[in-house]
Amino acid sequence: MARSRSRLTAEIDFDRDGKQHGFIRLPYSVHRSAYGWIPIPVACIKNGDGPRVLLMAGNHGDEYEGQVALGKLIRSLEAEEVCGRIIILPSANFPAAMAGMRTSPLDEGNLNRSFPGDPYGGPTAQIADYIESVLLPQCDFVFDFHSGGSSLTYVPSALMRRPQTPETLGAPVAYLVDAALGDHTLTAAAARAEVRHMSTEIAGGGQVTPTALRIMESGIRRVLTKVEALSGEPPPAAAETRIMQVRGQDYYVYAPDPGLFEPLVELGEEVTAGTPAAIIHPHDTPWREPAIAAFGRAGTVICKRVPGRVERGWAHVFGMGAEARQQPMRTRRAIPSIAAFGTRQAAISTTSSTARTVTTPLFDRTRSSRSRSSTRSSTGSIGTRSSPRCTRSR
Ligand SMILES: [Zn+2]
């Protein structure tokens, strides 16, 4: 049930056809401005009825690839190319994005740990509340473009955690893989709103590279085409996608001691259990023997820490994925949809056997609740004869 208490207001009308841009105004009364507001940029490109998509980046402010790509999309995409509606929120946690930080300098808020938010909370909680209570209820899909940010760099990956929707059988498996994230992520918010969700981890390192941006930009258009929000041929995939899985804590390597981080492997390397991952050199007592961090299982290195200094506990130095060879047939139905993003890897996060019972493809835009103009697809996949037709405005 959508709440309507948000104090945020959009300058644009999400129901109007055409291309609009402006700000979502977040009231912010401070010493220098009693009646000021924080201007969160937003665009809406609508052309008749069809899929309703929310594109987000800047959920974490120091993840730049998605922010650049969505800004370029706002400038380049015209309403005539669209079927339905695409809302674009390129710097969702705008105060964090302006500071170039993962979290907001106003309240230390991590937007992706702030859902469902609070309409009377700090700025980050209010943004989360607006996304969950105002934007998501009027969308069928949300695509949230993350990257490694300042502290991590990834082999560019599409990251799909299973949404908790009425169509799925069982629990919200994404949270089983990373219980610490709990119900406070956008993934959880999308599940609560019964909105299809996909995320990414595209490179990172606090920078933008041409390669990463190419993957991001072509991937966004491929995904939009896949859900029939864009017409025409999608751009070619940037790479052949390997389907991998990340299934538990032993997929991550943490620094056993504080010190200076010397990585021993590169992104993309294949490792086995016990392979040394990093040497952690004692910074303040360099005559002591360094600590060795080792991989806990076999797999492919898909994520690596960037900064050279580490602390015990909060320094996740490597992450890895394993080939998803054992995916059962019912789960495989979703795999072509993941590959649509065209990244080199797609991580399926599962930790429990309940994950294997999921049968609904990501890009199915039919839902059992919240009626909309579409009819339910007999196959549960997009682009079939039974998919709802786009009704374009002229
Ligand atoms: Zn992120």
Q: What is the pLDDT of residues 46-90, one digit of tens each?
A: 999 999 999 999 999 999 999 999 999 999 999 999 999 999 999
Q: Are 79 and 188 within one domain?
A: yes
CA of 47 to the centre of ligand 1 (A): 30
CA of 155 to the centre of ligand 1 (A): 14
Q: Are 286 and 333 within one domain?
A: yes
CA of 201 to the centre of ligand 1 (A): 7
Domain membership flag for residue 168: yes
Task: Enumerate residues with CB within 5 Å of ligand 1 (an ion).
Answer: 60, 63, 146
Q: What is the pLDDT along the chain (394 residues), one digit of tens a residue?
A: 445 589 999 999 999 999 999 999 999 999 999 999 999 999 999 999 999 999 999 999 999 999 999 999 999 999 999 999 999 999 999 999 999 999 999 999 999 999 999 999 999 999 999 999 999 999 999 999 999 999 999 888 887 665 332 222 111 122 234 444 568 999 899 989 999 888 888 889 999 999 889 888 988 988 898 889 999 888 888 777 777 777 778 888 999 999 999 999 998 899 999 999 999 999 999 999 999 999 999 988 888 999 999 988 776 777 756 555 443 333 333 333 444 555 556 554 433 333 333 334 555 555 434 444 433 333 333 333 333 446 655 4
pLDDT of residue 4: 56
Name the domain boundary from 196, 218, 244: 244
Name the domain boundary from 202, 229, 244: 244
Cα four-point dihedral sign 376, 158, 191, 56: negative
CA of 199 to the centre of ligand 1 (A): 9
Q: Are 119 and 206 within one domain?
A: yes
CA of 62 to the centre of ligand 1 (A): 8
CA of 59 to the centre of ligand 1 (A): 6
Query: If residue 243 lies in a helix (H) or strand (E), which one and from where to where?
Result: strand 242-246
- Give the residue among 331, 355, 387, 391 at the shortest CA–CA distance from 85: 391
pLDDT of residue 238: 78
279, with CB counted inside 10 A (0-12, 13-18, 19+), is: middle
The span from the CA of 146 to the CA of 294, in Å, is 27
CA of 48 to the centre of ligand 1 (A): 32
CA of 386 to the centre of ligand 1 (A): 36
The token pair at 56 is 């987000």
The span from the CA of 138 to the CA of 165, in Å, is 16
CA of 146 to the centre of ligand 1 (A): 4
Phi, psi (5° rounding) for residue 57?
-145, 175
Eight-class DSSP state of 258: S
CA of 145 to the centre of ligand 1 (A): 8
CA of 123 to the centre of ligand 1 (A): 18
Residue 315 belongs to a domain with what CATH number?
Answer: 2.40.50.100
Q: Are 23 and 147 within one domain?
A: yes
CA of 101 to the centre of ligand 1 (A): 11
CA of 68 to the centre of ligand 1 (A): 14
Q: Are 40 and 83 within one domain?
A: yes
Q: Are 352 and 319 within one domain?
A: yes
CA of 149 to the centre of ligand 1 (A): 7
Domain membership flag for residue 375: no
Domain membership flag for residue 45: yes
CA of 102 to the centre of ligand 1 (A): 7
CA of 91 to the centre of ligand 1 (A): 12
Range 210-215, long-range pairs (CB < 8 A, 24+ positions): 211/156, 212/65, 212/147, 212/156, 213/65, 213/68, 213/69, 214/238, 215/156, 215/239, 215/342, 215/343, 215/344
CA of 257 to the centre of ligand 1 (A): 25
Q: Are 228 and 294 within one domain?
A: no
Could you tell me the pTM of the whole model? Answer: 0.83
Q: Are 235 and 252 within one domain?
A: no
CA of 12 to the centre of ligand 1 (A): 27
pLDDT of residue 197: 85
Q: Are 233 and 257 within one domain?
A: no
Domain membership flag for residue 381: no
Domain membership flag for residue 4: no
CA of 181 to the centre of ligand 1 (A): 12
- Give the residue among 269, 267, 311, 270 at the shortest CA–CA distance from 293: 311
Q: Are 161 and 274 within one domain?
A: no
CA of 310 to the centre of ligand 1 (A): 20
Domain membership flag for residue 333: yes
Residue 54 belongs to a domain with what CATH number?
Answer: 3.40.630.10
Domain membership flag for residue 22: yes
CA of 60 to the centre of ligand 1 (A): 5
CA of 288 to the centre of ligand 1 (A): 36
Q: Are 222 and 271 within one domain?
A: no
The span from the CA of 328 to the CA of 318, in Å, is 28
Name the residue with tokens 């504080």. Answer: 258
Please give the tally of structural domains in the chain: 2
- The span from the first CA to the last CA of the chain, in angstroms, equals 33
Spacing of C-alpha 200 from chain mean position:
5
CA of 117 to the centre of ligand 1 (A): 17
Task: Please check whether residue 220 is in contact with residue 73, taking contact to mean a CB–CB distance below 8 angstroms.
Answer: yes
Domain membership flag for residue 174: yes
pLDDT of residue 202: 85
pLDDT of residue 90: 98
CA of 392 to the centre of ligand 1 (A): 34
CA of 304 to the centre of ligand 1 (A): 14
Spacing of C-alpha 180 from chain mean position:
17
| Residues 6 or more apart in contact with residue 181 via CB below 8 angstroms | 112, 113, 174, 175, 187, 188
CA of 154 to the centre of ligand 1 (A): 11
Name the domain boundary from 226, 244, 262: 244
CA of 327 to the centre of ligand 1 (A): 26
Q: Are 101 and 173 within one domain?
A: yes
CA of 388 to the centre of ligand 1 (A): 33
What is the span of the domain harbouring residue 284? 246-357
